[in-house]
């Protein structure tokens, strides 16, 4: 095979350090655009992005040229610098992340879910949401004590 091809959809979730509500209304739209630009530069176009004050969801198509870990590292590093430049001097992302593969047949469902974050979190906490993902995706390595420690 003389050509490398892939089509990998990723639902990425990560939170602010100690889940502090850094992502305020005035910054939210600009942060989403900035992160979308980072991912575009990594040949990993964003299909959906939304956030709550303490965490972020992104659905994107992962480039065949970069690993997931490297992509997440670049998104978090660059967006953290940007948030600090926008006035959130003590901003940082919580170490770690959760990433889930999404089949093409579920891309629209996941995109709708991401776009409905504000509604969803009127009924469910971030911790309930993460624990639901851990069950749904059968993440055996999930250690509740380690994951939620400050």
CATH code, domain carrying 62: 3.30.70.1290
Q: What's the pLDDT score for residue 139?
A: 87
- Give the rounded distance of the alpha carbon of 11 from its chain centre: 7
In a domain, 149, yes or no: no
Q: Give the residue numbers spanning the domain of 22.
A: 8-144
For the chain, what's the residue count? 150
DSSP class of residue 136? H
- Digit-coded pLDDT (tens) for 2-22: 788 899 999 999 999 999 999
Residue bearing tokens 């299909």: 47
Residue 3 lies in a domain: no
Q: Over the stretch 117-126, which tens digit does the pLDDT of each residue have? A: 989 888 999 8
Q: Identify whether 74 is part of a domain.
A: yes
Give residue 150's pLDDT: 63
Mean pLDDT score, 81-105: 95
pLDDT score, position 11 = 98
Q: How many domains does the chain have?
A: 1
d(CA 11, CA 36): 14
* pLDDT given at position 1: 58
Confirm whether 2 is domain-assigned: no
pTM for the whole structure: 0.92
């Amino acid at each position: 095979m003389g050509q490398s091809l892939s089509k990998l959809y990723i639902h990425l979730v990560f939170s602010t350090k100690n889940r502090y509500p850094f992502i305020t209304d005035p910054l939210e739209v600009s942060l989403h655009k900035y992160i979308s630009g980072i991912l575009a530069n990594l040949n990993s176009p964003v299909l959906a992005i939304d956030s709550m004050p303490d965490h972020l969801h992104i659905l994107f198509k992962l480039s065949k040229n970069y690993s997931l870990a490297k992509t997440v590292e670049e998104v978090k590093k660059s967006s953290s610098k940007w948030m600090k430049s926008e006035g959130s001097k003590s901003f940082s992302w919580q170490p770690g992340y959760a990433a889930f593969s999404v089949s093409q047949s579920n891309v629209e469902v996941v995109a709708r879910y991401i776009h409905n974050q504000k509604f969803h979190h009127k009924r469910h906490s971030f911790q309930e949401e993460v624990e639901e993902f851990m069950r749904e995706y059968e993440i055996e390595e999930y250690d509740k004590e380690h994951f939620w420690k400050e």
